[in-house]
Amino acid sequence: MKTAYLNARLLDPASGLDTAGGLLVEDGRIAKLGAKVFKGGAPKGVEAIDCEGLCLAPGLIDMRVNLCEPGAEHKETIATAGAAAAAGGITTMVALPNTTPVIDDVSIVEFIARRARGHGRVKVLCYGAITQGTEGSQLTEMGLLAEAGAVAFTDGTEVVADAMVMRRALSYASGFGLLIVQHPEEPSLAACGVMNEGEIASRLGLMGIPAQAETMVVERDIRLVEITGGRYHAAHLSTAGAIDAIRRAKKQGLPVTCDTAPHYFALNESAVGDYRTFAKVSPPLRSEADREAVVEGLVDGTVDIVASDHAPHDQDSKRLPFNHAAAGVIGLETLLPLTLEPYHNGKLTLLEALAKLTSAPATLLGLESGRLEAGAPADLVLFDPDLPWRIEEKSFLSKSKNSPFDGRPVQGRAVRTAVDGVPIHDGVPVRDGVPADRPEG
């Protein structure tokens, strides 16, 4: 089957391509693209899609997703997450290992792969756990897990707190060229905390988590990278201190990278308001100075990647007193527009913003997707970067609805998403920010 995309604005952060042109998909891969492709129109016998000047880019890669399957299907499933991801322009999700059972065995990696093939939407990859049961003591068989398909290793929402265990993990992984991903939060400092330590926490009477809890783990792990030479990635950074530590490590030439999530550059601790549990995340929303530091890290390239950190929770988990509510927000359907906010604010170019969602995670994880080039998989997103709309909880396709962005006006939306050339999402027409097939209000 052949598909021709005509009159598109072709965007490829990997090569710096930004031009009007066309793209041909054949047998699930990109056959050719460029300014002169289909300049005279599409040939007969080819499905033609007139992009009308909208942006055609590699499908987004979300490298931090809690799928909840197996074990917590009442919160999310691979199928419902896939539908939400497709609507958000995401073509590849990487699942965290914090399932029940934990992804610390080859059989669970194979289970995730089988379930992903069955749901028929986006591509689903998974992490293997660093330690058995994500308990932070005994290392898993990383080599076997990698052979089975695990793309990197992390204990997900749990920190590897023991320095010797982390040193062994980095050493073991370096022998296979594998990546270690850390949730950096010093557990004894964070144990009783539920939001950022500071004036707002004191006013609300809530225990705080100091910014240093994140910075301390990142700085410790960088020293372990110096010893072992292992590849290290710090996840969802939220503080100026941790980002500065990564910046210094990169200047030393160490194999260190990091990501952040949209809520850490789009919100600060004031979003907690009067005990708003939908703004409770781990690590917590930080001060305005930290939020600005995250933006600066995106701008200067210290922060390599933006991931949704999608963590679905049902109402029974969120509608509780703040101290007892689960931490986490959903983010698959809002990843693109929120990552475009620094572009609309003049902080990043469009290619720079897209790189955080496409070529950067693809390069880090060794994926062949994430770029527009002949022979690459036809994982594509067609989107309007300027389309204004309002985030509405009721329209989410995720099974859970725990978003702190409900009611937020944004710009940018996926119109069409394709995996291996096959369309998995076609956006409905939009009128004044409201989908035309849904009533206003």
The answer for 226, left when phi > 0, alpha when psi is -120 to 50, beta otherwise, is alpha
Please tell me whether the peptide bond between 70 and the residue prior to it is cis, using omega within 30 degrees of 0.
Answer: yes
- The letter for the amino acid at 26 is E
Quickly count: other Cβ atoms within 10 Å of residue 366's Cβ. Answer: 11
Please tell me whether the peptide bond between 101 and the residue prior to it is cis, using omega within 30 degrees of 0.
Answer: yes
Instruction: State the DSSP string of 407-440.
Output: T-EEEEEEEEEEETTEEEEEPPPEETTEETTS--
Quickly count: other Cβ atoms within 10 Å of residue 319's Cβ. Answer: 12
Which residues neighbour 441 within 8 Å (Cβ) at sequence distance 6 or greater? none
The answer to whether 285 and 261 have CB atoms below 8 angstroms apart is no
Closest CA to 358 of 307, 416, 310, 299: 307
309 is catalytic: yes
What is the Cα–Cα distance from 405 to 387, expressed in whole angstroms? 17
What is the Cα–Cα distance from 57 to 348, expressed in whole angstroms? 17
The answer to whether 331 and 308 have CB atoms below 8 angstroms apart is yes
> 414: which strand partners?
383
CA–chain centroid gap for 336, Å, is: 10
The answer to whether 357 and 385 have CB atoms below 8 angstroms apart is no
Closest CA to 267 of 196, 322, 191: 196
Strands 55-58 and 380-390, by their bridges, are antiparallel
Closest CA to 348 of 297, 287, 411: 297
Which one is catalytic: 12, 155, 309, 379? 309
Quickly count: other Cβ atoms within 10 Å of residue 119's Cβ. Answer: 16
The answer to whether 66 and 103 have CB atoms below 8 angstroms apart is no
Q: Which two tokens stand for residue 202?
A: 């004191």
- In the chain, helix, strand, coil percent, each to 5? 30, 25, 45
Show which residues are catalytic: 309
